[in-house]
Structure 1
Amino acid sequence: MCGIAGFTTNNPSEAELDMVKSMVSAMHHRGPDAQGALLLHGAVMGHARLSIIDLSEAGNQPFVSEDGRYALVFNGEIYNFQILRKQMEEQGIRFRTQTDTEVVLALLIHEGVNAIEKLNGMFAIAFWDNEAGTLDLIRDRIGKKPLYYTEQDGQLIFASELKAILECPNVPREIRPDAVYDFFAYQYVPDPKTIFKDVFKLEPGSHLHRTRAGLIKTRRYWSPEIGEPEPISMENAKAQLLELIEDATKQRMISDVPLGAFLSGGVDSSGVVAMMAKGGQTVTTCSIGFKEKDFNETEFAQAVADQYLTDHRVHTVRDGVAERLLDICRFLDEPFADSSLVPTFLVSELARQDVTVALTGDGGDEIFAGYQKYATDWRENQLRNKFPSAFRTVMGQLAPALRRVPNKHLRRAGSLMHSLSLDPAKAFYVTNTSLDDHIWQLLLNDDFRQTLGDYHPSQLTERAYHQCDSKDHLSRLLYTDMHTYLPGDILVKADRMSMANSLELRSPLLDYRIIEFANRLPSHLKFDKGEKKIVLREALSPLLPKEILNRKKMGFSTPLAQWLRGELKDIAEIYIFKNGHGLAQLFRKESVKYVWDQHQSGVFDHAAILWGMLIYEIWWKRVVALEY
């Protein structure tokens, strides 16, 4: 894995070369093996390399064509590069290295940028044409690899991480208000927004083209569309899916450095480990556990490790989260509050002691309907359809009062009534957020309330839900998560926390062929009356212990409420109350104290909003106030 950076320029100079070198240096963790920068005829490009394929210096970037016309910087891995290379060699094209980077460059030169659709992998690409003066930025289909960009003073600036773009002095750090609201609602800032007004993320499956004259055009070359399901039996679906997973895993095991796997003890990661062990090799597996039993999955991971005789190692999180938090947050360039970033960082740190590449089970829940929220939504939708709209309107009017009472059973009843009063798209937003509108309005100060106007983050969920090209409700939920939660949360967490440890993660279940196959399946093969991930479990059933297949999903979660009353209480009080200068621009201090006291009493659980405040203030102090 690597980091890329660069910008277009009318007057390439040594000063601008030094600027790109600074951008690359800011991402040293993404590529500690080699760093390079190059002046071109209208652009400067840089690269930080984590060597995975062809460890020789010949694989260093920027990579320039033999005639000097084209240059490329590339972050990621192309899993079918050997097939593409062989096809091009049969056409007379010759290669001087064993890298997938050279294959990507040759493909773009000889077949044009539209040939990116032939690539199977995770990637962020910057492709420069010296003669035409054009720059192409390309991001992989589902958004595994990040790519930020901004246009300043006629320059197009790009990088793998926001911190690299902020190395450029002409990039303003003006906070985008609606992105702040998004962050507290979703725990991340969704594509294509960033926390800053004038900086953007290139959306997954997108291609940006910039002409010599500075005209910019973007297009979506791939999207996880669903459409109408194709008729197929369970037996055929199982067989085809198993074949796809086996091939996707095999492709992701190509590496010139040590390779292992994350093993949570869930169906997805356990299935990947089973596939890796098929070849008879000993797999290095890593798991994270917690001292709190309700959050600890290590016994299930151990069962899989025992079955496949893996070289297994476990790290149990007992104490020290507060001491590690500031260090971990250094790798977050914008606010990000999925608390499982902590165990993801720690398991990446553990894995990096022995391997440079690790396979994961990411994607199975979003593609095959594995989350409990889908079951919750199904039950609520069943109830919603039984009540007339007028009655649901009354429910919505009664719900707010119930949701604020101390009795937890009445609060749950109020939450259910609130959800039932909404249309399915808005109700799914409520399922996806832990931000209570009443608490949010209580916290807002007058200035920030006025700045936000009538904006509400639910617009993002509702837009994705209604854009889905299927009338099936579950399909719309999965489509929504594949366009929002998966690229905005899961893949950001995986990329930043693994790259913080110079570790490359690969996710077989996110192979685009598996996504397209799953999206063509009838919904009942994925989810039926509360039973989740049906076809995936059926396909993997011969390979996994029954206790793995049948156990209730725990999820990669953390004891956040307990942490904020114990382990993280002191550091949270310091940042939220003693510092709190970033939060003061958003919230009323007395309301923040009210929410804090309610949580500390144990009567209410405000862990999500308080954790978001802590993360936001740590980020604001470091990135905006520049108090490192």
Structure 2
Amino acid sequence: MCAIAGIYDLYRHADIDAGLLHAMTERQRHRGPDQGGTHLEPGIGLGHRRLAIIDLGGGQQPLFNEDHSVAVVYNGEIYNFQPLMRELQLFGHTFRTHCDTEVIVHAWEQWGERCVERFRGMFAFALWDRRQQTLFLARDRLGVKPLHYALLDNGQLLFASEIKALLLHDGLRRQLDPLAVEDYFAYGYIPEPRTIFRQVRKLAPGHTLLLRKGQPLPAPRRYWDIPFEVQPALGEAQAADELLARLREAVRIRLVAEVPLGAFLSGGVDSSAVVALMAQASAEPVNTCSISFGDPKFDETSYAQMIAERYGTRHHVQRVEQDDLSLVDRLAGLYDEPYADSSALPTYRVCELARQRVTVALSGDGGDENLAGYRRYRWHLHEERWRTMLPLGLRRPLFGTLGRLYPKADWAPRPLRAKTTFESLARDSVAAYFHSVSIMDDKMRQALFSPALKRDLAGYHAQEVLYRHARDCPAEDALSRIQYLDLKTYLPGDILTKVDRASMAHGLEVRVPLLDHRLVEWMSSLPPELKLRGGIGKYLFKRGLERHLPKELLYRNKMGFSVPLAAWFRGPLRAHLERSLRSPVLADCGLFNLKQVQTLLAQHLSGRSDHSAPLWSLLMFESFLRQLPAAAPRNLVRQAA
């Protein structure tokens, strides 16, 4: 895995600052500790840091075609590079290396912008074509690999794998985007294409950006989407066998490497399935890694140990300690923008553990989104039956009133939290799903935000992100629609961002077989009742895995990869939390109602409410603000206005 960086002048052929390009590249050395390189010519500079995985002796980047008129810097893996190489050789292209990177330049020469449609893998790359005077940026279909860019006032476009590299340029304005602040405190992350900085954008998954010298910045072009086209029905047993066969092939093609491989093993269904198929395809024992917690309600290591013993893996376990305060600021620095998924803590540690033994690790990410594994899907479908029975004009006043009158019961099991259910039933389907995934409801965000921030939002609401994607959704059934929303928002914005930054902090490549795009397309074609049936998520997947995994693992209640944050905030993290939320940084930024911040803190510490998610989001936001470069504005509301 690697890091890329670059500077492109849209209108001039002026010299690029070589020192700045080198600094942008080196700022991401953790992503590519093995080698580095840059290429400069008038109007364009490309930088690269390499984590060598394939063709260790070759494949240095920037990499060029035969006459050096096309150059590429690339982060990722193209798993079908060998058949593509053979196909391109038939067209007359000559290869000097045996790495997947060189396929990109020749595929560009042969197929132009549509080259990305031929690639099977995870990637983010920038390609410069001197003859055409074009810069081509591309990101993989599901967003496994990141790519950020910013157009400066002087006509230069910056791009990099991580925002921290862009911030080295003095011409980049650091004003925060108030809409991103609203998004963050609703979702716990900032969905694509927005970032916390107004001038910086993420290239969305499945999109490309083609820039031509002398022309203004165009809109990104989408080249792929999840089809959700239901195919002719297969028998249940046949469909389960095909699902396993397709996953087995996706695992197999991800075992190609010239460095040690391993896998994450949480003890859940998805990682256990990947380890089982990986072990069956490997001649040597698989290296597996798990994280444990002292609280048994959050600890899955017994199930991970069960799979490790069954498949004879070399299994390693590390415990996440409750007082690891240094990691809080470390995480804020890794993500470059506010990021509030507390499972980033164990993810960082499991990546650290894995890197001690392997350079590549396979993960089980993507199974919940593709095969309906989240509990919230089940609740959404229950509520959707009521929404289809009563028109919104009746539901809104009836259930809206009940939602306002019914007491809040964070402590209760979901079936007894009638307030949440009533509030969802008073909304349309998309707004209800937004309500179910938000880490802070509308009322709490309104109380938390300062009058100045609310003025700058000008009526913007974070649920507009979901409405935008819902308009593009090709599916009509309720389950597929919310799966589509998660695949467009939560998966790339939260899950894949978490794993990419945590793994690359340690120079570890993570491969995701359940997000093989051909497998994703096929899984989207399955009838909804084969994904969620009788309250069982991943129904078909679990049926197919019964010969490979114990039933007590397959059919137990989903635990999730999370930490006991509520208890930690009342115990070992309490002093750190109180210091951070009373920090002058939060007061100076002008974004928050400080009285409400202290109310949330007091209610949580007293045990009256569980505000662990909002408090963690504030904690991470404070750490982000504290680590902003010195040139960043201090009063962020006034600067954003």
TM-score band, normalised by the shorter chain? over 0.9
Name the CA shift for 1:229/1:445 in 2 (closer, same or farther; >3 Å).
same
Corresponding residue of 1:118: 118
Deviates more, 1:80-89 or 1:139-148: 80-89
Equivalences for residues 314-325 of structure 1 within 5 A: 314-325=317-328
Taking the aligned partners of 1:444 and 1:510, their CA distance within structure 2 comes to 37
Deviation at 1:406, TM superposition (A): 9.0
Corresponding residue of 1:242: 244
Aligned residue type for 1:555: G
Aligned residue type for 1:377: H
Q: 1:365 aligns with which of 361, 364, 368?
A: 368
Answer whether contact 2:266 2:304 (CA < 8 A) is retained. Answer: yes
Aligned residue type for 2:191: P
Equivalences for residues 187-586 of structure 1 within 5 A: 187-217=188-218, 218-279=220-281, 280-386=283-389, 389=392, 390=394, 392-404=396-408, 412-581=417-586, 584-586=589-591
Corresponding residue of 2:639: none
Answer whether contact 1:225 1:479 (CA < 8 A) is retained. Answer: no
Deviates more, 1:229-238 or 1:257-266: 229-238
Aligned residue type for 2:204: E
Deviation at 1:90, TM superposition (A): 3.3
Deviation at 1:221, TM superposition (A): 0.4
Determine helix, strand or coil for the equivalent of 1:226: coil
Deviation at 1:626, TM superposition (A): 6.5
Corresponding residue of 2:43: 42
Taking the aligned partners of 2:299 and 2:386, their CA distance within structure 1 comes to 33
Deviation at 1:342, TM superposition (A): 0.6
Determine helix, strand or coil for the equivalent of 2:417: helix
Deviation at 1:66, TM superposition (A): 2.3
Name the CA shift for 1:300/1:406 in 2 (closer, same or farther; >3 Å).
closer
TM-score when scaled to structure 1?
A: 0.96
Answer whether contact 1:40 1:130 (CA < 8 A) is retained. Answer: no
Deviation at 1:229, TM superposition (A): 4.5
Taking the aligned partners of 2:405 and 2:164, their CA distance within structure 1 comes to 44
Matched, 1:593 2:598: yes
Determine helix, strand or coil for the equivalent of 1:419: helix
Deviates more, 1:4-13 or 1:387-396: 387-396
Deviation at 1:475, TM superposition (A): 0.8
Taking the aligned partners of 2:587 and 2:43, their CA distance within structure 1 comes to 39
Determine helix, strand or coil for the equivalent of 2:199: coil
Determine helix, strand or coil for the equivalent of 1:213: coil
Name the CA shift for 1:623/1:303 in 2 (closer, same or farther; >3 Å).
same
Deviates more, 1:162-171 or 1:538-547: 538-547
Deviates more, 1:109-118 or 1:574-583: 574-583
Answer whether contact 1:263 1:273 (CA < 8 A) is retained. Answer: yes
Name the CA shift for 1:103/1:582 in 2 (closer, same or farther; >3 Å).
farther
Corresponding residue of 1:176: 177
Cα-to-partner distance string for 1:362-391 (whole Å, 9 max, x where unaligned): 000000000011111122223444556525
Answer whether contact 2:322 2:573 (CA < 8 A) is retained. Answer: no
Corresponding residue of 1:620: 625
Deviation at 1:580, TM superposition (A): 3.4
Determine helix, strand or coil for the equivalent of 2:624: helix
Deviation at 1:68, TM superposition (A): 1.6
Deviates more, 1:252-261 or 1:463-472: 463-472
TM-score when scaled to structure 2?
A: 0.94
Deviation at 1:190, TM superposition (A): 0.6
Matched, 1:132 2:137: no
Taking the aligned partners of 1:463 and 1:73, their CA distance within structure 2 comes to 32
Aligned residue type for 1:350: L
Cα-to-partner distance string for 1:573-608 (whole Å, 9 max, x where unaligned): 222103333675111111111111001011101111
Name the CA shift for 1:471/1:588 in 2 (closer, same or farther; >3 Å).
same
Cα-to-partner distance string for 1:259-303 (whole Å, 9 max, x where unaligned): 000001111111111111113321000001110110000000000
Taking the aligned partners of 1:205 and 1:191, their CA distance within structure 2 comes to 11
Taking the aligned partners of 1:411 and 1:585, their CA distance within structure 2 comes to 38
Displacement over 6 Å in runs of 4+: none
Corresponding residue of 1:74: 74
Q: Report how many aligned residue pairs link the two structures.
A: 625
Cα-to-partner distance string for 1:295-335 (whole Å, 9 max, x where unaligned): 00000000000000000000111333213222232211111
Deviates more, 1:170-179 or 1:231-240: 231-240
Determine helix, strand or coil for the equivalent of 1:71: strand
Matched, 1:185 2:189: no
Name the CA shift for 1:583/1:139 in 2 (closer, same or farther; >3 Å).
farther
Determine helix, strand or coil for the equivalent of 2:492: helix
CA RMSD, aligned part only?
1.8
Taking the aligned partners of 2:372 and 2:408, their CA distance within structure 1 comes to 31
Determine helix, strand or coil for the equivalent of 2:325: helix
Taking the aligned partners of 2:603 and 2:295, their CA distance within structure 1 comes to 23
Answer whether contact 1:137 1:208 (CA < 8 A) is retained. Answer: yes
Corresponding residue of 2:635: none
Taking the aligned partners of 1:536 and 1:140, their CA distance within structure 2 comes to 25
Corresponding residue of 1:21: 22
Answer whether contact 2:577 2:619 (CA < 8 A) is retained. Answer: yes
Determine helix, strand or coil for the equivalent of 1:537: helix
Aligned residue type for 2:528: S
Deviation at 1:42, TM superposition (A): 2.4
Name the CA shift for 1:523/1:408 in 2 (closer, same or farther; >3 Å).
closer
Deviation at 1:440, TM superposition (A): 1.6
Answer whether contact 2:381 2:478 (CA < 8 A) is retained. Answer: no
Taking the aligned partners of 2:199 and 2:395, their CA distance within structure 1 comes to 45
Q: Name structure 1 gaps, 5 residues minimum.
A: none
Answer whether contact 1:406 1:603 (CA < 8 A) is retained. Answer: no
Identity %: 42
